[in-house]
Amino acid sequence: MLQLHDLTFKPFLSAQEIENTIEKVAEKINEDLAAKQPVFLGVLNGAYLFTAELTKRFQGNCEVEFTKLISYEGTKTTGKIQNLIGVENLKGKTVIVVEDIVDTGNTISEIVKILEKEAVANYKIATLFFKPEAYQKAHKIDYIGLEIPNKFIVGFGLDYNGLGRNLPEIYQLKEN
């Protein structure tokens, strides 16, 4: 068990399971974009580790950029997206949006608007974790590491009020 602030979390995925999942996503991206020079657009703060791991495994030339949007307070999504760090100079480029987790899809919708405004050549969306039960949008998620239940998780970049991002494994909120 793991205690973060006022909540208790139980083990959910091992570091090795995460490693295997990242490898699977990276292989697919390499297959699809071998002839391209993509920009990996990591969504901060949660996707910083996943972005680093994907770019290490990309077999061609690539660029890395970050954007920061927030939609969570504690364990709940607010339904409102705040854009804290914007992107620029993506016009005409192939972009891979790198998300730690996609649940409702609100953040993805906001990023798609930004990419369309930036006039990118094309984009793909990659997420380490996907919650199909919570997803409410129509945007295609091109690369899904793992589909997981609609439960709150921490670790490997994901946090609860700032804590847990540094954990090499994933923990799920323990229900009482």
**Which residue type is seen at 132?**
P
Please, how many CA atoms are within 13 Å of residue 139, restricted to the half-sphere of its CB?
25
Torsion of CA 46, 70, 88, 101, to 10 degrees: 40
The dihedral over CA atoms of 118, 121, 125, 126, expressed in degrees to the nearest 10, equals -110
Q: Confirm if 128 and 22 have CB atoms less than 8 A apart.
A: yes
**Of residues 32, 100, 103, 142, which has the active-site annotation?**
103
Distance (Å, rounded) from C-alpha 95 to C-alpha 83?
Answer: 18
* Alpha carbons 169 and 128: distance in angstroms, whole number: 13
- Per DSSP, the three-state class of 41 is strand
Residue 157 CB-half CA count within 13 A = 20
Tell me if residue 32 is catalytic: no
Question: Among all residues, which ones are annotated catalytic?
Answer: 103
